[in-house]
Chain A
Amino acid sequence: MRRKLIVLAVMAAIAAASGFAADRQKLVWLQWTNEPQQKAIDAVVAAFQAKYPIDIEFEFKPGSSEGENLVKTRIAANDMPDLLTYNSGSLFQVLNLEKNFVDLSNEPFASKLLDSFKSVVSAGKGFYAIPYQPIPAGGILYNKKVYAELGLKVPKTWKEFTANCDKIKAAGKVAVIVSYKDDWTAQLLFLADYYNLQAAYPKFAQDYTANKAKFATTPAALRGFEKIQEMFTKGYINKDPMATTYDNAQAMLANGEGAHYPMATWVLASINQNFPDKMKDIGFFAQPGDSADKNGVTLWMPTNISIPKTSKKIDAAKKFLDFFVSAEGLAAYMSVGAPDGAFAIKNVKMPEGLFPATKDAITYINANKTAPALEFLSPVKGPNLPQICVEAGMGLKTPAECAAEYDRDVEKQAKQLMLPGW
Chain B
Amino acid sequence: MPSLTSRLYSYKFFIPAAIVYVLFFLAPTFLSFFFSLTIWTLSDWKFTGLDNFKIFLTEPSLNIGLRNSLVYATATCALKVVIGFLLAAFLCTDLKTKGFLRSMIYFPNILSTIAVGIIFGSLMHPSHGLINTCLAAIGIKGPDWLGNPRMALFSVVLVDVWKGVGIAMTIFIAGIQAIPQHYYEALMIDGGTAFHKLRYITLPLSRSSMNSVIMLAFIGGIRSFDLIWVMTKGGPGFTSDLIASIIYKQLQGGFYGISTAGNVVLFVIVSIIAVPMYRFLTKVEVDL
Residues in chain A within 8 A of chain B (CB atoms): 65-66, 68-69, 72-73, 75-76, 94, 96, 180, 183, 239-243, 382-384, 387-388, 390-391, 394, 396-397, 405, 408, 412-413, 415-416, 418
What are 20 sample pairs from A and B whose C-beta atoms fall under 8 A apart? A65-B253, A69-B251, A69-B252, A73-B42, A94-B254, A96-B41, A240-B126, A243-B144, A243-B146, A383-B254, A384-B61, A384-B249, A387-B237, A387-B238, A391-B236, A394-B236, A396-B237, A416-B41, A416-B254, A416-B255
B235 touches A383 (CB 8 A): no
The docked-state distance in angstroms from the alpha carbon of A66 to that of B252 is 7
Q: List A contacts of B238 (CB < 8 A).
A: 384, 387, 391
A66 to chain B, nearest CB (A): 7
Residues of B within 8 A of A72 (CB): 41-42, 254
Distance in angstroms from B194 CB to nearest chain A CB is 45
Given A383-B253, A408-B60, A242 contacting B144 (CB threshold 8 A) = yes
- By a CB distance below 8 angstroms, the chain A residues around B249 are 383-384
Q: Does B215 sit at the interface, judged by CB under 8 A?
A: no
Question: What is the chain A residue whose CB lies nearest that of B148?
Answer: A242
Residues of chain B within 8 A (CB-CB) of A418 are 39, 46
Q: How many residue pairs at the A-B interface have CB separations less than 8 Å? A: 92
B-side contacts of A416, CB under 8 Å: 39, 41, 254-255, 257
Q: State in angstroms the CA–CA spacing of A66 and B255 once bound together.
A: 13
Residues of B within 8 A of A (CB): 39, 41-44, 46, 51, 55, 60-61, 125-127, 144, 146-147, 149, 233-239, 249, 251-255, 257-258
B234 partner residues in chain A, CB cutoff 8 A:
387
Shortest distance in angstroms between A40's beta carbon and chain B's nearest beta carbon? 29
Partner of B149, one of A65, A69, A382, A396: A396
In the complex, besides A243-B127, A391-B236, A416-B254, 14 extra interface pairs with C-beta distance below 8 angstroms are: A68-B252, A69-B251, A76-B43, A94-B254, A239-B127, A243-B126, A382-B253, A383-B255, A384-B253, A394-B236, A396-B236, A412-B253, A415-B55, A416-B39
Q: Which of B55, B126, B237 contacts A391 (CB 8 A)?
A: B237
Q: Are B60 and A390 in contact (CB under 8 A)?
A: no
* Chain B residues, CB < 8 A from A69: 251-252, 254
On chain A, the residues within 8 Å of B239 by CB distance are 396
* Residue in A65, A384, A391, A413 with the greatest tally of chain B CB atoms within 10 Å: A384
What chain B residues lie within 8 Å of A408 (beta carbons)? 60
Q: For residue B61, give the distance in angstroms from its CB to the closest CB of chain A.
A: 8
Cβ-defined contact, A242 with B235, below 8 A: yes
